[in-house]
Amino acid sequence: MPTKTLHIPTPDGQADAFAVHPDDGSQHPGVLLYMDAFGLRPVLEEMAGELARHGYFVLVPNVYYRHAPSPVLDLPEHIGEDVRSGIIGRLMPLIEAHTPERVLRDAGAYLRFLTSLPEVSDGPVGTIGYCMGAVLAMRTAAAHPDQVAACAGFHPGPLVTDAPDSPHRQLSSLTAEVHIGLAEQDMTPEARAELEQALDAAGVGYTTEVYPDTVHGFTMSDTDAFDPAGHQRHWDRLLPLLDRNLTTD
C-alpha cells in the first residue's frame, strides 16, 4: 500500500499529513483517522495500511501542526510506562492548545481536502480516532452530518465533561453510526450513561463497549498498554462499521 506525505491547507496554515490507499488506480471511500496524543508515527501508518487493504483511502493529519511538523517530539520505538508520563507532560501544552474551536476549523479543512482528492470516491466518509483523536472524530462527525456516515473512537479521551462544549453536548445533529470501544477505566458508568442518552437523543445507531481486560491505549502496539485481544476486537468492530456505512467498490 503506497504511503504519501501531504500538506492540507487550513485557516491557520498547513497541516502535514500522510495518506495510505490501495494502489489499484480506482477510487475508494475516504476515512479521516485522528491520531492519539503521541502523534504521527509508524504504528499509525501500519493501522492506516490495514484500513487501506480493506479498500479505504486513509488520511492521517498531524493535529499539532501549528506547533511543529511531525515528528513533534522524538519518540522512542517503544513507549514504556517508564517514559510515558514524561512524554505526555511535554505534549500536554499542545493538547490543551487544541481547543474545540481549532478542532472544528481543522475538521472542515481536513474533510474538504480528503473529499477533493481524485483517489477518493463520492459519497460519505468515516472518522475514527484513538485517545484524544476519538474526541476529534466525534466532534467532526457531529459538525459535518452531511458528510460523515461512520464514526468510531477507541480508548477515548473525555467525551463527557461538565463543560458547556463537552463533546456529548454537541451531538444533536449527528447522523453517523457510532462505535465507542472503551478500556475498563476509560469512562465511569455515569458518564457512559450520559453519552448513551445523548446518542439516543440524536437518534443514531451506536454501540458502546468495554473491551475486557484492557487499559487506556490498548490498540497501540508501540506502548505497554497494547493488548492483542483488544486490538483485534477493535478491528472486528471497526471494519463492519465502515463497510455498512461507506460505499465500497
Q: Which are the catalytic amino acids? A: 131, 186, 216
Q: How many C-beta atoms lie closer than 10 Å to residue 227's C-beta? A: 21
CA atoms lying within 13 Å on the CB side of residue 197:
8
Query: What CA–CA distance (Å, rounded) separates 188 from 190?
Result: 5
Given the DSSP bridges, would you call strands 3-10 and 13-20 parallel, antiparallel or unpaired? antiparallel
Enter the C-alpha cell of residue 49. Answer: 495500511
Distances (CA, A) of 242 to 57, 68, 120: 12, 32, 15
Identify which of 152, 63, 72 has the alpha carbon closest to the alpha carbon of residue 110.
Answer: 63
